[in-house]
């Protein structure tokens, strides 16, 4: 129970205002609710399972600089593409003119954004220190879901208040910012 509560509290605190939570805020204005929630939850489970496994089995964080570099570049490319995207691809309807399944877009973006993130590294450290795989994993997953549901609600509200063009520009700026932030994190380390 101690590992669960420690993981829940530390990971929730680390996730508030984190880039992956801000990514959810941006995606909430862009994707339909069902693929959005299922993509985020699936990604959280996979990324925290990986982090917990790494921490539990290896007992130390593995440097993920290459993944962070690629994720940073991907976010910048997505931001630029979002600026150039037609408004009909930003609608909440699953429009056939959008190139890919929204679930896989959300899952991929969130998973890449989470690799090497402070919440994942926190999970690795906790799993390596407390020796409780299940407690650490369940606490981390619950913390991530709770923190990101807050962002999701905020993002859905914003989408009813702003025009599609404004949402597209904000989302593009956020994606580009995530990319730059990821690349700057690599330079600082």
Task: Please tell me which residue, 121 or 98, carries the higher pLDDT value.
Answer: 121
pLDDT at 11: 84
DSSP assignments along the chain, one per residue: -HHHHHHHHHHHHHHTT-HHHHHHHHHHTTS-HHHHHHHHHHHHHHHHHHHHHHHHHHSSPPP-HHHHHHHHHHHHHHHHHHHHS-GGGSSSS--TTSSS-HHHHHHHHHHHHHTT-HHHHHHHHHHHHH--HHHHHHHHHHHHHHHHHHHHHHHHHHHHHS-HHHHHHHHHHHHHHHHHHHHHHHHH-
Answer yes or no: is pLDDT of 91 > 70.
no
pLDDT in tens, 22-75: 788 778 878 888 999 999 999 999 999 998 998 887 654 445 566 567 767 877
pLDDT digits (tens, 9 = 90+) for 124-135: 877 877 778 899
| Residue 24 CB partners (closer than 8 Å, separation 6+) | 40, 110, 148, 151, 152, 155
Residue pLDDT, tens place only, 151-168: 788 777 766 777 767 767
Sign of the Cα torsion 134, 141, 16, 117 reads: positive
Q: Note the pLDDT of residue 46.
A: 95
- The predicted pLDDT at position 174 comes to 74
Q: Are 72 and 180 in contact (CB under 8 A)?
A: yes
Lowest mean pLDDT among 40-54, 86-100, 110-124, 131-145: 86-100
- Angle between helix 33-58 and 102-114 (nearest 10): 30
Q: Is the predicted pLDDT of residue 179 greater than 60, yes or no? A: yes
């Amino acid at each position: 129970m101690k590992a669960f509560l420690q993981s829940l509290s530390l990971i929730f605190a680390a996730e508030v205002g984190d880039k992956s939570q801000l990514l959810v805020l941006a995606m909430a204005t862009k994707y339909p609710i069902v693929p959005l929630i299922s993509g985020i939850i699936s990604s959280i489970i996979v990324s925290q399972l990986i982090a917990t496994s790494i921490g539990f089995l290896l007992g130390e964080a593995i440097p993920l600089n290459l993944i962070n570099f690629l994720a940073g570049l991907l976010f910048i490319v997505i931001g630029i593409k979002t600026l150039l995207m037609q408004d009909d691809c930003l609608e909440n309807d699953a429009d056939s003119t959008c190139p890919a399944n929204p679930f896989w877009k959300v899952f991929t973006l969130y998973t890449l954004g989470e690799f090497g993130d402070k919440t994942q590294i926190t999970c690795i450290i906790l799993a390596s220190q407390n020796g409780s795989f299940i407690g650490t994993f369940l606490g981390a997953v619950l913390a991530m879901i709770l923190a990101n549901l807050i962002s999701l609600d905020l993002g859905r509200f914003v989408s009813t208040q702003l025009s599609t063009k404004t949402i597209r520009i904000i989302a593009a700026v956020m994606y580009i910012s995530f990319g730059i932030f990821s690349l700057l994190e690599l330079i600082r380390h």
